[in-house]
Structure 1
Amino acid sequence: MQQKEMVVGLPELTEIRDVCEGCVSGKQHREKFDKEGAWRASCPLELVHTDLCGPMQNESIGGNRYFITFIDDFSRMCWVYFLIKKSDTFNVFKKFKAFVELQSGYSLRRLRSDRGGEYTSHEFLDYCASMGMERQLTIAYSP
């Protein structure tokens, strides 16, 4: 249109062949994760994933600003607990552990979490060791 002067005031456009680094990395192909290499739990409570989220900008009607999730790797069963303070994590975990072990008849063997401070306290690590529970730590902020 510009070459044939079909549009009044259209500036001459030039094609740029160079590609910026951001465009290249944004269009890169990422390989899928190998499903055969991924380890999955073979019975309930063999591996439980957990994470704490918060503080939320607005607190709930009950005054809660945090929530903690526990997800069983075998059954994909999910439990969510609401917390007022981040420091309540250890007590909530002990209640969760007692509840699920009593209800299911299985014992919690491995707990996988990020390296958030709520799961790396000496008190928490000592409790897990005394219960014979293996701790698995992932990289923080990873899915």
Structure 2
Amino acid sequence: MVQKPFPSNCDKRHYDTFELLHFDICGPMEENSLGGSKYLLLIVDEASGCMKGFCLRAKSESEDCIKTIKTYIMKVQKQFGKKVKFVRHDGAREFATNSLKDFYKDEGIEQQTTVPMLHHAKLDKCFWAEAAMTAIYVKNRLPSRERHRSHGGEHSKRCVTHLLRSVRDFAPSYFDDVFVHSRAVNGKTDVEAHKEHLRKLLGLMRKYKLYANLKKCIFGASEIPILGCLVGKNGVRPDPEKVRVISEWPTLSDVKELRQFLGLATYLCKYVENYAGKIRPLSQLLKKEAEWKWTAECQQAFDAVKQGLTEAPILAVADQDRPFHVVCDASDFAIG
């Protein structure tokens, strides 16, 4: 039996513990599809976006297909220690054998038949490119019942964004941070609207069993910290703690310290007018051939960045009902 590894959009090293996995058998394919293989075996966790697939020959060509399916299921159960749901494409009836049914029953695996998806798929010669697109299509057709329970990690953060997408208009999320904003609308005060939004968000979190740390929660505040800035009804301003750190930064002595300083300052550069022009003497020191020499011009640029952040204005929230003016320059060394 020939097995060809299927492209995966998730590195194996990033796999975490899943609550429920899907095994999907799709086929039969046309003769020229999947490099001559007739069926496609997919292992999918939709919540995390992880996917792994393998091509299988027809049962009539190889009795080892059944053993292969059992091997993969046992391997995944052993690795993740979680339940498996077997989702079988209704065209793949060749695999609905008594031996597999008994195996599912013994292992406590739930079976489900899906609508035809890949029966007429033709991947021609572009196996690696088009097969990946087909697998994503199959993944998106699977039911979204699995939950990703691991606390922290790349997949749980993506899972939060995926599960809370229905409330993103008033509760956008960034990885595992959720921000709820409300204003008076339809005769409701801003407080009443905010309470309604919170009920919807918390109800959704309860439904998907997502938990929040109360010590990190802020409710009913007029201004909250978001990604290094303070956001309120009047606009956006830099976090005073970060501004204090920059204003108290000692004179730089080497390239490593310069990179650290510019790393934090550049994060808040939108509050400093002509930031790129002001730091030009400092950025010149980062060039590969540059020799470290702290000049009066460098000190002046260093102080200008500090002063600019200390006097940073409050940036107003964009009003979509008013005209916008785009202002830029044609400088050959700095923009902004």
Short-chain TM bin: 0.5 to 0.7
Paired residues for 1:1-143 under 5 Å: 44=18, 46-53=20-27, 54-57=29-32, 60=35, 65-66=37-38, 67-86=40-59, 87-108=63-84, 110-115=85-90, 116-141=92-117, 143=141
What CA distance in whole angstroms lies between the structure 2 residues aligned with 1:73 and 1:89? 25
How has the CA–CA distance of structure 1 residues 100 and 114 changed in structure 2, closer, same or farther, with 3 Å as cutoff?
same
Runs (4+) off by over 4 Å: none
Shift of 1:128: 0.4
Q: Deviations 1:16-56 (Å, cap 9, x if unpaired)?
A: xxxxxxxxxxxxxxxxxxxxxxxxxxx72524040234343
How many percent of aligned residue pairs carry the same amino acid? 16
More strand by share: 1
Q: Structure 1 residues 58 and 111 mapped into 2: Cα distance closer, same or farther (>3 Å)? A: closer
Q: Is the 8 A contact 2:34 2:55 kept in 1?
A: no
| TM-aligned CA distance change 1:130 to 1:76, over 3 Å | same
Q: CA deviation at 1:94?
A: 0.9
Structure whose CA Rg is larger: 2
Question: How far, CA to CA, are the matches of 2:78 and 2:21 in structure 1?
Answer: 16
Gaps of 5+ in 1: 1-42
SS at match of 2:42: strand
2:134 corresponds to which residue? none
Hey, which of these two has a bigger chunk of helix by percent? 2
3-state DSSP of counterpart to 1:90 = helix
Cα-Cα RMSD: 2.8
AA aligned opposite 2:55: F
* 5+ residue gaps, structure 2: 1-16, 119-140, 142-336
TM-score scaled by length of structure 2: 0.25
Inter-partner Cα distance in structure 2 for 1:76 and 1:139? 21
Greater relative contact order structure (CA < 8 Å, 6+ sep):
1
